[in-house]
Amino acid sequence: MPVTIKDVARVAGVSITTVSHAFNGHDDVSADTRDRVLQVAKELNYRPSHVARSLVLQQTHNVGLLVSDFNTNPGGHHFLFDVMAGVHDQLAEFGYDMTLLSTTTAMQRLVSYIDFCTERRMEGVIVMGMRMNDPYMREVADAKLPSVGIDLPILSPHCGYVMTDNIQGAMHAVRHLLAKGHQRIGFINGHAEAVVSVDRLHGYQTALREAGLKVDPDLVVHSNFLVQGGEEATTVLLTKAPDVTAIFYASDLMAIGGMRRLLRMGKRVPHDVAVVGYDNIDLGEWVVPALTTVAQRRYDMGKASVDMLMGMLRRQERPRACLLTSEMVVRQST
Amino acid sequence: MPVTIKDVARVAGVSITTVSHAFNGHDDVSADTRDRVLQVAKELNYRPSHVARSLVLQQTHNVGLLVSDFNTNPGGHHFLFDVMAGVHDQLAEFGYDMTLLSTTTAMQRLVSYIDFCTERRMEGVIVMGMRMNDPYMREVADAKLPSVGIDLPILSPHCGYVMTDNIQGAMHAVRHLLAKGHQRIGFINGHAEAVVSVDRLHGYQTALREAGLKVDPDLVVHSNFLVQGGEEATTVLLTKAPDVTAIFYASDLMAIGGMRRLLRMGKRVPHDVAVVGYDNIDLGEWVVPALTTVAQRRYDMGKASVDMLMGMLRRQERPRACLLTSEMVVRQST
DNA sequence: TTGCATATCCAAAACGTTTTGGGTATGATT
DNA sequence: AATCATACCCAAAACGTTTTGGATATGCAA
């Protein structure tokens, strides 16, 4: 039904070879015929088939964005959406398309996501939202398919990653609190299976030691990155260590929950307890008091992952570990 | 490089026709050879090429999700992310892939998005985040390409739409406030180019008239759906109509901004001024006071748009207007 | 034995491109 | 006049599938 290169050739009175050459700017076609071909193509509204071209060129210009548990990722949009935008835009910059994949749907189709990508002849895949204990982890690591993980620190012959330097980020946050004179600084972390949690804990501890303080295990509580988790963990923390004067939360959502709980307990933020979050979600600016937080460059993470993948694809670069810096956003909660 | 149907045929000692038939469950292949072919295919790790199949079958099983200004859509993730998840999951259910498109990147590639979709032989496209005055609007409406708009009420021979019943939603909100005894109810709307704004205003006015109240133009202020806009608009509203006892905001973000501003002005929510938002974003549950709001079924909107598109594609159904109901979520702000 | 239905298989065309390896004029150089 | 370079053009193969229209063999009825 759609108009093909044959139609153009027939109407323009040339061979399909010539049409192809005219379209792709080869120099063995006279200016006259080139113009005529292009004119005819425009009149017929000809659009070359990406599918046919993919088949003959053996490259699809298509990469997958694999999101773990896309549909059931509570609060995920605060982080994933911007990363996705970065991935998409930068792929477009290179002339690549982005196909969205989810582990859940892959699972229910009963094919590994690698098979899924192979069938579609995807040139690579970017993975995000996955935990270290995810069953798909090994598959990502072992795959021949060029891939880049976001917040998923796997280095293998075909798999690189990009993530925020969470150690540095957490150190920033704790140093900021130390500079404000705090000594008893609580840390409410995300779940331990998240790789970022490990690093943030490490950064928290390092910053304390750096200041000559001892690391008190009672000051650290694990939670789930969400508002309610932040609330509950705050109660736990305050019973274990009632003397904290500052709390560092591993996500803004938990920090918002924490502030809410602190308020309930009659503690004033930042007067009685200072609060720092992590992520810089848009609403952090508008809660009361406005949230001091560590900003991740989400959009840039998406872009960087594409850059790495393109390097692997087009310049045979080896996969790397790419760490992006983060920066403090100081507002009223400290 | 990847293993093809030829390889399987050669190793199994049959023709490629037989391999194809074995794979697609045709009955003119003996059980013996079928098993052998499948066995060989598994050993070679054969994956049929989706590309080649698309070419010969003339259908790609691919639809585009066109997001207007994907990267520069502030606060967009609160709504778009869930819709996207619904679209993706439901497409997967039908065996379709989802390719993400953005008007901005399409624009900078200097091709209309229709051409973009035609080149890729997409079977349809779902459009979201677009305003009525968007330059791409006409293109969507006139296109031969089967399409479904989300919150974009265009009906044409090849274009249907799904949206929340915003009239009903706004009426719910206002009725709720009326039931609480409020008479002077302000309305802070989004920008007028958003179609949802028109409907929500309509619903607001209808509910008031229904209650025998006059519609006072001083009670309506237009803003931009965002937190800061909500703040500013609240000030404007309160200078024009200092006697309001309730405000209905056309987005949760504006409602959050509004509550913040009200607090600053010494008004207590809900005691002095009751507040209702729209959207049911996740954080509405956690602000203080927790936000009463109108919940849109975002995920379902995505699913519904896919269902409609599939109906058009596979059963030649005509594009329709699909309205989803919304429901009140009553919390502490009223 | 012949004819015929059935079961099983396959060669070749088709899908819409790109690329290879030429071919035929034309004009300039010997 | 013969040779050669150049400019322009094209037929055919290839990419990896599906589908069409048989072909061959087997078993059974006439």
Q: Which residues of B touch A1 (CB under 8 A)?
A: 58
User: How far apart are the C-alpha atoms of A309 and A61, rounded to whole Å?
Assistant: 12
What are the pLDDT digits (tens) for A255-284?
999 999 999 899 998 899 999 999 999 889
Residues 101 through 120 of chain A touching chain B, CB cutoff 8 Å = 102, 104-105, 108-109, 115, 118-120
Q: Are A163 and A320 in contact (CB under 8 A)?
A: no
- Reported as a pLDDT band with limits 50, 70 and 90, residue B168 is very high
Determine which of A88, A139, A279 to mutate to test the interface with B (most B C-beta atoms within 10 Å).
Answer: A88
Q: Which residues of A touch B60 (CB under 8 A)?
A: 51
DSSP letters spanning A261-308: HHHHTT--TTTTSEEEEEE--GGGGTSSSPPEEEEP-HHHHHHHHHHH
Which of A96, A21, A4, A25 lies closest to A54, judged by CA?
A96
* HSE (side-chain half, CA atoms, 13 Å) at B320: 14
B110 versus B41: the higher-pLDDT residue is B41
What are the pLDDT digits (tens) for B281-323?
988 988 888 999 999 999 999 999 999 999 999 998 999 999 9
CA of A28 to C1' of D1 (A): 30
The packing angle between helices A5-12 and A31-44, to 10°, is 120
- Domain A62-164+299-326 = CATH 3.40.50.2300: yes
Find the nucleotide nearest B37 (Cα to C1′): C9
**CATH placement of domain A5-48:** 1.10.260.40
Q: Are B309 and B128 in contact (CB under 8 A)?
A: no
* The pLDDT of residue B110: 67
CA of A25 to C1' of D8 (A): 14
CA of B29 to C1' of C2 (A): 28
For chain D, which bases have at least one atom within 7 A of a protein Cβ? 7-12, 14-22
* The pLDDT of residue A69: 78
- Reported as a pLDDT band with limits 50, 70 and 90, residue B108 is low
- CA distances to B7, B23, B33, B35, B96 from B13, rounded to whole Å, are 10, 15, 9, 13, 33
Identify the DSSP state of A242. Answer: T
Mean pLDDT of all residues in B207-228: 92
What are the pLDDT digits (tens) for B12-42?
999 999 999 999 989 888 888 999 999 999 9
**Interstrand relation of A124-128 and A246-249 (parallel, antiparallel or unpaired):** unpaired
Determine which of A69, A71, A90 to mutate to test the interface with B (most B C-beta atoms within 10 Å).
Answer: A71
Q: Which residues of A touch B63 (CB under 8 A)?
A: none
Q: In what order do the strands lie in the sheet with A274-279?
A: A220-222, A185-189, A246-249, A274-279, A292-295, A327-329
Residue B235 has pLDDT above 70, yes or no: yes
Gap from A203 CA to chain B (nearest CA, Å): 28
Residue B72 has pLDDT above 70, yes or no: yes
- Please give residues of chain B from 48 to 77 whose alpha-adjacent beta carbon (CB) lies under 7 Å from any atom of strand C: 52, 55-56, 58
What are the pLDDT digits (tens) for B81-92?
999 999 999 999
CA of B37 to C1' of D30 (A): 39
For chain A, what are the domain ranges? Answer: 5-48, 62-164+299-326, 166-295
What are the pLDDT digits (tens) for B170-196?
999 999 999 999 999 999 999 888 889
Q: Which residues of A touch B253 (CB under 8 A)?
A: 283
Residue B55 has its nearest CB partner, among A55, A85, A118, at A55
Q: Are B301 and B86 in contact (CB under 8 A)?
A: yes
The 10 Å Cβ neighbour count of residue A288 is: 17
User: How far apart are the C-alpha atoms of A248 and A237, rounded to whole Å?
Assistant: 11
Mean pLDDT value across chain B: 92
Using the CB atom, is residue A49 less than 7 Å from strand C? Answer: yes
User: How far apart are the C-alpha atoms of A76 and A73, rounded to whole Å?
Assistant: 5
Whether A51 and B51 lie within 8 Å, measured CB to CB: yes
Whether A115 and B283 lie within 8 Å, measured CB to CB: no
Using the CB atom, is residue A49 less than 7 Å from strand D? Answer: no
CATH topology of domain A166-295: Rossmann fold (3.40.50)
Q: Phi and psi (nearest 5°) for A100?
A: -85, 135
> Does the CB of A47 have a partner CB in chain B at under 8 Å?
yes
Please state, for a pLDDT cut of 70, what percent of chain B lies above it.
98
* The pLDDT of residue B90: 95
Burial of A122 (0-12, 13-18, 19+ CB in 10 A): buried
Whether B286 and A97 lie within 8 Å, measured CB to CB: no
Give me B284's structure tokens: 């509405």
Please state, for a pLDDT cut of 90, what percent of chain B lies above it.
76
Which of A96, A53, A106 lies closest to B52, judged by CA?
A53
User: How far apart are the C-alpha atoms of A163 and A120, rounded to whole Å?
Assistant: 27
User: How far apart are the C-alpha atoms of A181 and A179, rounded to whole Å?
Assistant: 5
> Does the CB of A42 have a partner CB in chain B at under 8 Å?
no
Query: Same CATH topology for A5-48 and A62-164+299-326?
Result: no
pLDDT, block means (10 residues), chain A with 334 residues = 92 94 91 92 95 96 91 82 94 95 74 89 94 82 93 93 95 94 94 88 94 91 92 94 94 93 90 93 88 95 97 93 95 92
User: How far apart are the C-alpha atoms of A18 and A32, rounded to whole Å?
Assistant: 12
| CATH of B62-164+301-326 given 1.10.10.10, 1.10.3720.10, 3.40.50.2300, 3.20.20.80 | 3.40.50.2300
CA of B13 to C1' of C4 (A): 30
CA of B315 to C1' of C6 (A): 36
Residues 283 through 312 of chain B touching chain A, CB cutoff 8 Å = 283, 285-288, 299
Mean pLDDT of all residues in B201-206: 95
> Does the CB of B227 have a partner CB in chain A at under 8 Å?
yes
Nearest protein residue by Cα to C1' of nucleotide D20: B17
Nearest protein residue by Cα to C1' of nucleotide C14: B56
Smallest CA–CA distance from A70 into chain B, residue: B85
* The pLDDT of residue A107: 62
* The pLDDT of residue B106: 62
B144 versus B72: the higher-pLDDT residue is B144
* The pLDDT of residue B109: 66
Using the CB atom, is residue B10 less than 7 Å from strand D? Answer: no
Residue B92 has its nearest CB partner, among A86, A105, A286, at A105
DSSP letters spanning B73-125: -TTTHHHHHHHHHHHHHHHHHTT-EEEEEEHHHHHHTTS-HHHHHHHTT-SEE
Residues 2 through 31 of chain B touching chain A, CB cutoff 8 Å = 2
User: Among B37-46, B67-76, B198-207, B268-277, which stretch is predicted with the lowest mean pLDDT?
Assistant: B67-76
* The pLDDT of residue A38: 94
